Amino acid sequence: MSSYNVVNNPYFCTYKFDRFSRFTVMKQHNFSAGPAILPASVLKEASRAVANYEGMGLSLLELSHRGPEFMAILEEANALMKEIIGLPEGYHVLWLTGGASTQFYQVPYNLLNEGETAAYTDTGVWANKAIKEAKAFGNIEVVASSKEVNYSQIPKKYKIPKNAKYLHVTSNNTIYGTQLHKFPQSPAPIVCDMSSDFLSRPFDPGPFGLIYAGAQKNLGPAGVTVVIVREDMLGTVQRHLPSMLDYRVSIQEDSMYNTPPVFPIYVSMLTLRWIKKSGGLKAMQRKARSKASLLYDEIDRNPLFRGTVAKEDRSMMNACFVMQEQYAPLEKEFLKLCEGNGLVGLKGHRSVGGFRASLYNAMPKSSVAVLVDLMRDFAASK
């Protein structure tokens, strides 16, 4: 069997900072579903900023969020987001707190009057939670669900009510490993939870009235949520909106009605720089397809493993797989082998079991190749 000892890991590195003693960082092959892997160059630059931002003798964590340094960071983050996605006029980029789960209720709170209808698709745990929260604010019609097959596929044929204020979809289902590879044709504006495949592929923003995404998959550390909202979606509800939950206040105050999450926004800005330098969303998509194809080909070829979702709906971000039934007792042994060789975060969610390899933007293909080699060697040894 091939040996991939962590001490030979190509991501083993040492950094030294002016205000700290020398320390060692061992970066393993990180397949975690989130908080997820970030580009090594981003981590290095962010680490410097924590110690001494731009030679100021102050940590980024100590700077005023109203000062010119952070204002420049926020301005660049907004500009990069608009450029990379290709947002037209009329869309606003907001940097909020509370995670994507807060958006489950903040979206209908801002967009849906009592008595009005919104359409939702139920494609996984997070979509189901969004449905539950939205029911407190209006008439929620679940137009499609794959719950009866344990969310192992994306519903394909369903009707969207003509009176729907919006259609809510989840683009990628982290737990189950399914992904919308084509967004539905909708007579209503689409509201999309893009948390786990945000910035992994190009898309036309035109059909979307609102997009939200927790940063901790492809963009930055946990602690900030990006909301992209089209201006004409707002100002139609009759209820009173508390300032902290009103998107219009966040727009008016440039995401700074209260103290924003400074460090997560800074790291997100660095990641946006990295995405642009790496070739933008088309390059992210090419890399995602290449990594996913390498792993899925091995899952389909290897006699020990099988995928858990319909092939046409397989996620490019979260590959879920299990042992074939007769080999199920070997799952713990294989997981231990992976961990011993520096592959971390591969244990599947309890709803699916088995394994989950998250292949976010910063995951190098070489790490996927290590996993594939271990799968082959493990099969050959049995």
pLDDT band at 308 (very low <50, low <70, confident <90, very high): very high
19-38 per-position pLDDT tens digit: 433 434 445 899 999 999 99
CATH number, domain 62-277, options 3.40.640.10, 3.40.1010.10, 3.20.20.70, 3.30.50.10: 3.40.640.10
Out of 10-14, 229-233, 376-380, pick the least confident: 10-14
Q: What is the pLDDT of residue 215?
A: 97
Asked if 175 and 128 touch (Cβ cutoff 8 Å), the reply is: no
SS3 content of the chain, % helix, strand, coil (to 5): 40, 20, 40
Residues belonging to the active site: 126, 193, 217
Asked if 246 and 141 touch (Cβ cutoff 8 Å), the reply is: no
pLDDT band at 256 (very low <50, low <70, confident <90, very high): very high
280-380 fold? Aspartate Aminotransferase, domain 1 (3.90.1150)
pLDDT exceeds 90 at position 65: yes
* Mean per-residue pLDDT of the chain: 93
Q: Which alpha helices (H) appear in 86-179, and where do they start and end?
A: 99-111, 125-134
Domain segments of the chain as ranges? 62-277, 280-380
Q: Which residue has the tokens 């082998």?
A: 337
Q: What is the pLDDT of residue 304?
A: 98
pLDDT exceeds 90 at position 10: no
177-214 per-position pLDDT tens digit: 999 999 999 999 999 999 999 999 999 999 999 999 99
Strand pairing category for 139-145 and 117-122 = parallel
pLDDT band at 382 (very low <50, low <70, confident <90, very high): confident
Q: How much is the average pLDDT of 39-46?
A: 96
Q: What is the pLDDT of residue 323?
A: 97
Q: How much is the average pLDDT of 251-279?
A: 97
Q: Which alpha helices (H) appear in the chain, and where do they start and end?
A: 40-51, 68-85, 99-111, 125-134, 247-252, 262-277, 280-301, 331-340, 365-380
Backbone angles phi, psi at 261, to 5 degrees: -75, 90
Supply the DSSP symbol for 280: H
Q: What is the pLDDT of residue 27?
A: 55
pLDDT exceeds 80 at position 254: yes
123-178 per-position pLDDT tens digit: 999 999 999 999 999 999 999 999 999 999 999 999 999 999 999 999 999 999 99
pLDDT exceeds 50 at position 4: no
Give the DSSP letter string of 225-273.
EEEEEEGGGSS---S---GGG-HHHHHHTTT-SS---HHHHHHHHHHHH
84-117 per-position pLDDT tens digit: 999 999 999 999 999 999 999 999 999 999 999 9
Q: What is the pLDDT of residue 7?
A: 36
67-84 per-position pLDDT tens digit: 999 999 999 999 999 999
Q: What is the pLDDT of residue 28?
A: 87
pLDDT band at 42 (very low <50, low <70, confident <90, very high): very high
pLDDT band at 232 (very low <50, low <70, confident <90, very high): very high
